């Protein structure tokens, strides 16, 4: 069974001998162009012989010209509709074109996108996000609507270029923001974005990011796959989510230990994950990004263990 067939069977809910496997981390080359990023990504994928590829996305949302911080209602009002092809995202699109051409018929890839709230906070609002939620909620909601439209345009283009799905990172932990704020400023826009591309991707993934998660509130998101830090101290477990979500689950590997444990330990960890995920509706992966300085032998050993080779 080839890589595409293996993922297709899992997405269809069929039993498989082993789950498809992927791992990822940020390469730190967002200063470079799309060609270099594509070659680095493909080299990573082939070196570790992964079953599907999660393409990282470190090209940031374009800030309004001349604005070094979003602090006020007026600043929020400067966030406007974009022609996504004329932004720095063109480098990501160039990388996706190359990846799509090279992996066509051989393996699926999914493209990373940060949700609208996180997008605004990452390089525009930053430390001002709390104040904006407190003092300018209506203006913030209007800005998030615009960002959602722009991200939807980005996602549609990504899927047109060959992505099998969007991997949407969604902040949903109590240590990040309150549940009330999650339900007001995060979830509605994530749901709207995922719904807009639901018919275009076969592997759209909602990555529920955080430690103490509002998991009951994300089970109805329109995605085919849910990803989260299931091996963390607060979970929830893969089995708990499979009992409540009709799609597939992605996880099993605790990303926080990969650079801190021996190869022997990591092999056992992966074998435990296979039991936790089961024989259907499960994709084996890290719960969040692995440290960039990971020992290559550690990943090689995890891949071998997942395939019953080590």
Give the pLDDT confidence of 78-88 residue by residue, as tens digits.
Answer: 999 999 999 98
CATH class for the domain made up of 3-306? alpha beta
The SS3 of residue 290 is coil
Structural tokens at position 54: 């999660």
Per the CB < 8 A criterion, the answer to whether 32 and 296 are in contact is no
pLDDT tens readout for residues 33-60: 999 999 999 999 999 999 999 999 999 9
Q: What angle do CA 70, 145, 204 make, to 5 degrees?
A: 110
- The H or E element spanning position 263 is helix 263-277
Percentage with pLDDT > 90 across the chain? 98
pLDDT digits (tens, 9 = 90+) for 123-180: 999 999 999 999 999 999 999 999 999 999 999 999 999 999 999 999 999 999 999 9
DSSP 123-191: IIIGGGHHHHHHH-HHHHHHHHHHHHHHHHHHHHHHHHHT-SEEEEEEE-BTTTS-HHHIIIIIHHHHH
H or E segment to which residue 283 belongs: strand 282-286
Tokens representing residue 29 in the block: 């080359």
**What's the average model confidence in pLDDT over 64-85?**
95
pLDDT band at 1 (very low <50, low <70, confident <90, very high): confident
Is residue 310 scored above 80 in pLDDT? no
């Amino acid at each position: 069974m080839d890589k595409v067939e293996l993922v297709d069977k899992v997405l269809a809910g069929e039993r498989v001998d082993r789950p498809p496997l992927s791992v990822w981390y940020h390469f730190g080359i967002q200063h470079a162009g799309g060609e270099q990023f594509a070659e680095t990504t493909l080299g990573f994928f082939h070196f570790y012989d992964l079953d599907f590829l999660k393409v990282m996305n470190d090209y940031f949302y374009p800030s309004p010209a001349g604005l070094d911080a979003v602090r006020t209602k007026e600043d929020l009002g400067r966030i406007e509709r974009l022609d996504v092809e004329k932004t720095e995202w063109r480098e990501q699109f160039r990388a996706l074109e190359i990846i799509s051409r090279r992996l066509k018929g051989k393996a699926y890839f999914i493209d990373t996108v940060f949700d609208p709230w996180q997008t605004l906070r990452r390089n525009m609002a930053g430390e001002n996000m709390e104040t904006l939620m407190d003092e300018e909620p209506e203006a913030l909601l209007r800005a998030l609507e615009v960002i959602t439209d722009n991200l939807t345009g980005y996602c549609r283009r990504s899927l047109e270029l060959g992505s099998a799905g969007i991997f949407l990172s969604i902040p949903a932990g109590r240590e990040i923001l309150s549940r009330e704020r999650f339900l007001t400023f995060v979830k509605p826009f994530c749901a709207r974005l995922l719904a807009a591309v639901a018919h275009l991707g076969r592997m759209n993934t909602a990555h529920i990011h955080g430690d103490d998660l509002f998991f009951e509130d994300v089970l109805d998101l329109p995605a085919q796959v849910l990803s989260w830090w299931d091996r963390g101290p607060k979970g929830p477990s893969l089995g708990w989510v499979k009992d409540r979500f009709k799609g597939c689950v992605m996880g099993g590997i605790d990303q926080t230990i990969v650079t801190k444990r021996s190869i022997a330990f990591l092999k056992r960890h992966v074998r435990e994950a296979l039991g936790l995920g089961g024989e259907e509706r499960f994709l084996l992966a890290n719960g969040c990004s692995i440290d960039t300085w990971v020992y290559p032998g550690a990943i090689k050993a995890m891949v071998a263990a997942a395939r019953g080779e080590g």
